[in-house]
Amino acid sequence: MSLKSKSISSKGSLNEDERLKKISPLRVLLNRPELGALGGSILVFIFFGIVAGDTGMFSAYGMLNFLDVSANLGIIAIAAAMLMIGGEFDLSIGSMIGFAGICIAIPAIYWGWPLWMSIVFAFAMAVLVGYFNGIMVVKTGLPSFIVTLAMLFILRGLTLAITRLITGRTQVPGLRVLIEDDPLAWLFATDTFKWLFTWLGSLKLIELRTDGTPLATGIPPSVIWFIALTLFATWILMKTRYGNWIFASGGDKVGATNVGVPVGRVKISLFIGTAVASTIFACIQVLDAGSADTMRGTLKELEAIAAAVVGGCLLTGGYGSAIGAAFGAIIFGTVSMGIFYTDVDTDWFKVFLGAMMLIAVVFNNYIRKKVTESK
């Protein structure tokens, strides 16, 4: 019997060939967390290409529509994914969206603050909420599921109670007029690449309104934010020391602490991340709708977690990717919009969402076994 295990060989011996044979490119690809979501996205596009190819879903306007929905979900899904990789959950994302919404609307409408100040205020509140979630989880050692579930109720309740107390209603309209000339609001409310759409319209390549302007006027801000956040999160996870700490904190809290990773600080910052992402989501939606609704964002936390899981994040932490979560969001966004273009009743969307998530979890579990397979 040889004393060497399969991958051990004495120094200097030629083993280049053996090495190359061992890992096929397919294996490498299979080990990437985002594979499932990427494959899923392609399947979804093929499906709707066949079923709804001639319905206008894939016109410029239709595409921007489902990309906008995907992008909004993606913004929170990426933050949720990073937190999940770090080994924690945030169930207060949806409530934070509603809360951030009124943090923008009430000061701007009722207290006469300039819009930019309300937006800054909302982000400051987000940092506080995230910090509180994080410090509670880190200091008490309670499961984040419980801590953030409590936060889900607290924030939603606060949102409702404060709004009704101050305004007597549950909606705060009237923001649209404030957007113009605001030094900050444009970040969340400007369609970009308008010239491109005007130009395409002038060439009659995309659909036009009766007055000759294109139906799709530009790339919505959500899509730009979505792309920027995907790139930023991926850079952090793959290319920075902090990214390594996120994986380590989620993979093995005790081990990471023993070798000097500041696990507590990493987790707290990730909780702040999800709260801030919720606030970006809220800014975009509130400024787009021109009003804040106390029920905005309900159940979004579960969609964000679902997208992260479909994107390859393990529920136990330590594994996953931001790109995966982005594709997870694209799958959900595309299906939720695409279903309108088919004959299928939209009631079936939730069924699809659940089934997709179940398949993803089973698949992820299999991948994890593969990755950690001992020789």
Partner 1 sequence: MSDYLVQFNNISKFFGKVIALKDVTMRLKKGEIMCLLGDNGAGKSTLIKTLAGVHKPDEGEIIFEDNKIVFDSPKDALDIGIGTVYQDLALVPLMSVTRNFFMGREPQKGIPFLKTFDVEKANKIAADRMGQIGIDVRDPSQAVGTMSGGERQCLAISRAIYFGAKVLVLDEPTSALGVHQASMVLKYIVKAASEGLAVILITHNVHHAYPVGNSFTVLNRGKSMGTFQKKDISREKLLSMMAGGEELDKLEVELQEMDRIHNKN
Q: Should residue 260 be labelled a site residue for partner 1 when binding is judged by CB under 8 A?
A: yes
In whole angstroms, give the CA distance from residue 55 to residue 204.
18
Work out the end-to-end distance of the chain between its first and last CA atoms, rounded to an integer number of angstroms: 16
Q: Should residue 351 be labelled a site residue for partner 1 when binding is judged by CB under 8 A?
A: no
Question: 3-state class of 293 per DSSP?
Answer: strand
**Are residues 73 and 308 in contact, defined by beta-carbon separation less than 8 angstroms?**
no
**Are residues 311 and 70 in contact, defined by beta-carbon separation less than 8 angstroms?**
no
Single out the residue of 23, 42, 205, 359 in contact with partner 1 (rule: CB under 8 A).
23
As measured in angstroms, the least distance from the Cβ of 263 to partner 1 is 10
In whole angstroms, give the CA distance from residue 238 to residue 231.
10
Encoded one letter per residue, x for contact with partner 1 by CB under 8 A and - for no contact, window 310-339 reads ----x---xx--------------------
235 CB neighbour count, 10 Å cutoff? 12
Task: Return the range that interacts with partner 1 (CB under 8 A); candidates 53-61, 207-215, 258-266, 352-360.
Answer: 258-266
DSSP designation for 185: T
As measured in angstroms, the least distance from the Cβ of 37 to partner 1 is 18
Closer residue to partner 1 in complex, CB, 210/258? 258
Task: Return the range that interacts with partner 1 (CB under 8 A); candidates 190-198, 293-301, 321-329, 367-375.
Answer: 367-375
Single out the residue of 259, 345, 347, 351 in contact with partner 1 (rule: CB under 8 A).
259
Tell me the backbone φ, ψ of residue 192, rounded to 5 degrees. Answer: -110, 170
In whole angstroms, give the CA distance from residue 143 to residue 147.
7
Q: Which 29-68 positions form the footprint of partner 1 (CB under 8 A)?
A: 31
Closer residue to partner 1 in complex, CB, 81/261? 261
Count of residues engaged in binding partner 1, rule: CB under 8 A = 39
Q: Nearest CA to 251 among 327, 326, 313? A: 313
Three-state SS sequence of 149-202: HHHHHHHHHHHHHHHHHHHCCCEEECCHHHHCCCCCCHHHHCCECHHHHHHHHH
Closer residue to partner 1 in complex, CB, 22/169? 22
Q: Should residue 8 be labelled a site residue for partner 1 when binding is judged by CB under 8 A?
A: yes
- In degrees, to the nearest 5, what angle opens at C-alpha 119 toward C-alphas 116 and 120? 90
Single out the residue of 210, 212, 351, 374 in contact with partner 1 (rule: CB under 8 A).
374
Task: Return the range that interacts with partner 1 (CB under 8 A); candidates 9-17, 110-118, 164-172, 285-293.
Answer: 9-17
Query: C-alpha dihedral over 43, 45, 51, 54, to 10 degrees?
Result: -160
Single out the residue of 229, 256, 277, 325 in contact with partner 1 (rule: CB under 8 A).
256
Encoded one letter per residue, x for contact with partner 1 by CB under 8 A and - for no contact, window 235-254 reads ----xxx-xxx-xx--xx-x
Task: Return the range that interacts with partner 1 (CB under 8 A); candidates 99-107, 142-150, 256-264, 270-278.
Answer: 256-264
Can you read off the two tokens belonging to residue 316? 């136990």
**Are residues 275 and 96 in contact, defined by beta-carbon separation less than 8 angstroms?**
yes
Write out the residues near partner 1 by the rule CB under 8 A. Answer: 1, 3, 5, 7-11, 15, 19, 22-23, 31, 239-241, 243-245, 247-248, 251-252, 254-256, 258-261, 314, 318-319, 368, 371-375
